[in-house]
Amino acid sequence: MKTFALVTFGCRVNQADSLAIEAGLIARGAAPVPADRADLVVVNTCSVTASADQGARQTIRRIHRDNPGARIVTTGCYATRAPEQLALLPGVAAVLNNADKGNADSGTVPLLEALEKRGLAPSSSAGDGPCGRAIEPGTMGRTAWTLRVQTGCEERCSYCIIPSTRGASRSRTPDDVLAEVRRIEDAGYREVAITGVHLGSYGRDVSPATSLEALLTRLVRETSSMLFRVSSLEPMDCPTGLIDLACAHPTRIAPHFHLPLQHASNAVLARMRRPYTLEQYSALVDDLRARLPHAAIGSDVIVGFPGETDAEFDALASYLERAPLTHLHVFPYSDRPGTVAEGLPDKVHGATVKARAQRIRVISRRLQDRFRASLVGTTRPALAIEDGGVAVTDNYIRVPLPPGHERNDRVVVVL
C-alpha cells in the first residue's frame, strides 16, 4: 500500500482521531491522495443519528464504485455499534472498532498496527528514514490541529448511543498532552482545538485527579504562543474558572465556546436525562456574554424528541430567539437502537420534526447575522487557512483575505 485516503464523519473527536491516523500513515511512507485513486481508504464513521449511518453507507458504496480496487477499512462509532452491517458492504476489507483507533491515555494509534497485521498498511519501518515524513499544517487539509485529550462518556442521556460505542471516560495524562502540543508546535502549527467525547470530565480518572481548567492553565504557561480553542463542553462542565482563564489570556484561549443546550423545556430536558435546567444554562451563557462580549457561543439542539408538544417546541424557539448564542447545530431526533429514548411513547411525526428543524435553522441564521453585525468595525486576530485566501478569527468568523497571504499566516483583520 503506497497511497491512502481518509473520509471522516462526525465531530471534532473523529477529526482528531483521523489526524492521528493520517500522521501515522504519512510517517510510514504512505502518501495521501483522493479516495478515487487510493490503495487504502479509511472511513471513520459516526453513529450519532440514523442519517450519519446512512451517509457512511452511501459513501462506502460510492468509493467502491469509483475505485473498485481500493481496500476500504471502516472504523468509528458505527463500526463499533453495528460492525456486521458495514462488513457486508462492497469493498470493505476490515471493520475496526473505536478501541482499535487509539487510546486516549497514551496517544497511540493501534489501528495502524491492526492494518499492518492484515497487510493493509506499511510497516512502521517503511517510511523515509526512521520517522518517515513529518506532519505539517495542511495535513488532512487542516491548518489547525485537533487534539483529543479524553475519550468515553459516563453520562446517560436517554437519546445517546455514544457511551456504548466509546466506553468509560479515559483521559490522557497532562504530561502526555503537553508533550503532544510541543510536538505539533515544533511542526509549525499555531492553533490547537482541544477536544474529547466528554471533554469536561477530563482528568477525573487520572492520578492525581486534575481538570480541564488545570490542563489549559499548564498548556498556556508551558508553551510559547499556541492558541487553544476549546471544543464542545457540557453546560455543567464549564466552571467560572475556565471563563476567568479565557479573560486573563485573550491571545492564548480563543473566545469561542460550544455549550450544548439540547432543549429549552425543563420537562424535555428531564426526559433527555440532561443534568441541568434552562435557568442554569441561561445564567451560564448570559454571564459568558457579559464577560466576553465578542465571544462566539455555539450550541446543539434536538427537535422532535419523543413527547415534544407544540408548547415545548415554542418554548425552545422563543428562548433561542433571545439567547446570546451565535450559531446552532440542529439535530432532528431519530431513534438510536439500544437507547432509553427509543422506547419512549408519543413519537413526533416525521413531517413535524422536519418543519420544526427548519424553523430552528432559520433562527440560527438570524443569530449568526446578529453576531456578525455586532462585530462590524472591530479588529480581530485570525489564522489564514486553505490557500491563504480565507482566515478564521479567534471568535470563529470566516473572512476573505486579499492576495499575498499563505496558509498558517497569523493576520489581523477588520471585520
Angle between helices 278-291 and 240-248 (to 10 degrees): 10
Has residue 1 got a pLDDT over 70?
Answer: no
Q: How far is CA 259 from CA 138, 239, 288, 367, in A?
A: 28, 12, 11, 15
- 50 and 101 both lie in a single domain: yes
Average pLDDT over residues 237-244: 94
* Contacts with 93 (C-beta within 8 Å, 6 or more apart), sequence order: 71, 72, 73, 118, 120
What single DSSP character describes residue 182?
A: H
Are 215 and 223 in contact by the 8 Å Cβ rule? The answer is no
Amino acid code (one letter) for 328: L
Q: What is the DSSP letter of 111?
A: H
- Which of 126-130, 224-228, 283-287, 337-341 is predicted with the least confidence, judged by mean pLDDT? 126-130
DSSP structure string for 235-264:
GGG--HHHHHHHHH-TTTB-SEEE---B-S
**Mean pLDDT of the residues in the chain:** 92
Residue 248's pLDDT is what?
97
Residue 288 lies in a domain: no
Is a pLDDT exceeding 60 seen at residue 105?
Answer: no
Q: What is the pLDDT of residues 247-257, one digit of tens each?
A: 999 999 999 99
Number of Cβ within a 10 Å radius of residue 193:
20
The stretch 208-214 carries a mean pLDDT of 97
Q: Answer yes or no: is 392 within a domain.
A: yes
Let me know if residue 261 belongs to a domain: no
Bridge partner list, 74:
43, 95
Considering Cα of 157, then 158, then 161, then 163, what sign does the dihedral take? positive
- Domain annotation covers residue 50: yes
Domain boundary, last residue among 222, 254, 286: 254
Domain check: are 42 and 113 in the same one?
yes
Least confident of 61-75, 129-143, 181-195: 129-143
Nearest in space to 80 (alpha carbons), one of 107, 30, 45: 45
End residue of a domain, out of 212, 231, 254: 254
> 3-state class of 225 per DSSP?
coil
Residue written as grid cell 465556546: 257
Q: Are residues 50 and 155 in the same domain?
A: no
Nine-digit cell at 230?
476549546
Within a domain: 29 = yes
108 burial (CB, 10 Å; 0-12 / 13-18 / 19+) is: middle
Q: Say if residue 197 is in the same domain as residue 107.
A: no
pTM of the model: 0.89
pLDDT at site 102: 61
Q: Same domain for 97 and 175?
A: no
Segment 285-292 mean pLDDT = 97
**Does 260 fall in a domain?**
no
Number of domains within the chain:
3
Residue-level pLDDT at 134: 66
Report residue 358 as a C-alpha cell: 427548519
Residue range(s) defining the domain that contains residue 106: 3-117
* pLDDT band at 24; cut points 50, 70, 90: confident
CA distance 137 to 214: 27
Average pLDDT on 340-349 reads: 97
User: Which whole-number Å values give the CA distances from 317 to 273, 276, 323, in the listed order?
Assistant: 20, 19, 10
167 and 85, same domain (yes or no)? no
- Give the Cα separation of 411 and 409 in Å (integer): 6
> Which of these three, 233, 254, 275, is where a domain ends?
254
Cα-based torsion angle of the residue sequence 325, 327, 332, 335 in order, rounded to the nearest 10 degrees: -80
Instruction: Tell whether 70 and 171 lie within a shared domain.
Output: no
pLDDT at 135 over 80: no
Distance CA 71, CA 120 (A): 7
**pLDDT tens digit sequence for 345-370:** 999 999 999 999 999 999 999 999 99
| CATH number for position 173 | 3.30.750.210
Query: Is there a single domain that holds both residue 152 and residue 90?
Result: no
At residue 114, φ and ψ (nearest 5 deg) are -65, -40
383's grid cell: 489564522
Asked whether residue 230 is assigned to any structural domain, the reply reads: yes
Tell me: do 153 and 242 sit in the same domain. yes
Cα–Cα distance for residue pair 152/165, rounded to 1 Å: 8
- The enclosing domain of 113 has a CATH number of 3.40.50.2300
In a domain, 333, yes or no: no
Q: Is 29 left (phi over 0), alpha (psi -120 to 50) or beta?
A: left
129 has a pLDDT exceeding 50: no
pLDDT grade, residue 214 (50/70/90)? very high
